[in-house]
Amino acid sequence: MVKKILSIVLWVVTAAALVVLFIFARESYLHAPVKGVNLIPESDSGFVRRSELHDEIGGYCNQKNIGTVDMEAIQHHLDANPWIESNAAYIDLNGMLNVNFKEYHPSFRVYGKNGRSVYVTQQGIVIPSSRRYIPYVLIASGNFDLRNDSTAYPLNDTLPADRNLIDALYWHKTIEGNPFISNCIGQLFCNEKNEFELTVKGIDARVIVGDTCNASDKLNRLELFMKQKADSHEIQNMKNINLSYKNQIVCTKR
């Protein structure tokens, strides 16, 4: 009986000691100064300047103890960056504030009727353009009503203003799926009738592809047409090459 009581007392004392040690270690950790900021980019598109982000995040923790750092404010700051897709911030046991972040990767740039421009990702996220970084991507222009928004936002097929952007994204994906055409396309244009046209390298004619219906077939016909006319000067005398008709290519001369 005595041994049992001593065993219980020993366990209680040990548990109490561990709790005290834990509290002491926690207090020591929370009162320790933050040693610095460590940025860990998952992807590097070029929109986010690491030196600037480092200084911005450093402003929340410079000369502060770990327990007084406002992690929620840091999270809001990262979330407000329109070029950061996802992020996570934490302070490790060594006192370093680690910031993991992933940048958006733009697929094409769109110039709207109001003179503004945005980028669209493969996932249909619209992100603002930047004066400091211009990635080499496909250009789309013409009849696009761009929202006056400085934040990133997903395309919405219920909003009329996003309809042409959604179609442009569809055309971009279809073009990317055809290696031959992808190497030939200079720009994507949406005219006043909301029909799409392609600027093809080496061809002065307007290449009209219309709406997104049978988009892949239209590009396949264009590829076949260009290969057949590769050694002919006939294509240079054409004003329009219209692929918007089913199973047809309608050409008009200058």
Residue-level pLDDT at 211: 93
Round to whole Å and give the CA distance between 108 and 106. 6
- First-to-last C-alpha distance (Å) of the chain: 110
> Quick one: average pLDDT of 201-222?
91
Question: How far is residue 109's CA from residue 137's CA, in Å, rounded to a whole number?
Answer: 7
Each residue's pLDDT tens digit, 9-52: 555 555 554 554 445 444 454 567 888 899 999 877 789 999 99
Residue 48 and residue 101 in contact, taking contact as beta carbons nearer than 8 Å: yes
Whether residue 140 sits in one domain with residue 70: no
Give a yes or no: residue 3 inside a domain: no
**What pLDDT, on a 0 to 100 scale, did the predictor assign at position 26?**
46
Domain range for 53: 36-103
Decide: 155 and 118 in contact? Cβ < 8 Å: no
Q: What is the pTM of this model?
A: 0.83
Same domain as 227, residue 148: yes
Residues 246 and 164 in one domain: yes
Residue 241 counted as domain residue: yes
Same domain, yes or no: 58 and 126: no
Mean of pLDDT values over 50-67: 86
Query: pLDDT tens digit string along 127-149?
Result: 999 988 999 999 999 999 998 88
In a domain, 92, yes or no: yes
Instruction: Write the burial class of residue 231 (CB in 10 Å: 0-12 exposed, 13-18 middle, 19+ buried).
Output: exposed
The tally of domains found in the chain comes to 2
What token pair was written down for 95?
A: 């006192």
Q: What is the pLDDT of residue 81?
A: 94
Q: Do 109 and 140 contact (CB within 8 A), yes or no?
A: yes
Alpha carbon distance 180, 155 (integer Å): 28
Q: Please check whether residue 111 is in contact with residue 144, taking contact to mean a CB–CB distance below 8 angstroms.
A: yes
Residue holding tokens 């940025």?
Answer: 39
- For the record, the structure tokens of 48 come out as 């986010």
Looking at the structure, tell me whether residues 76 and 128 fall in a common domain: no
pLDDT, averaged across the chain: 85
DSSP 190-242: E-TTS-EEEEETT--SEEEEESSTTHHHHHHHHHHHHHHTTT-SGGGGEEEEE
Asked, for residue 61, whether it belongs to a domain, the answer is yes
> Which tokens hold the place of 212?
């997104």
Q: For residues 87 and 116, state if they share a domain.
A: no
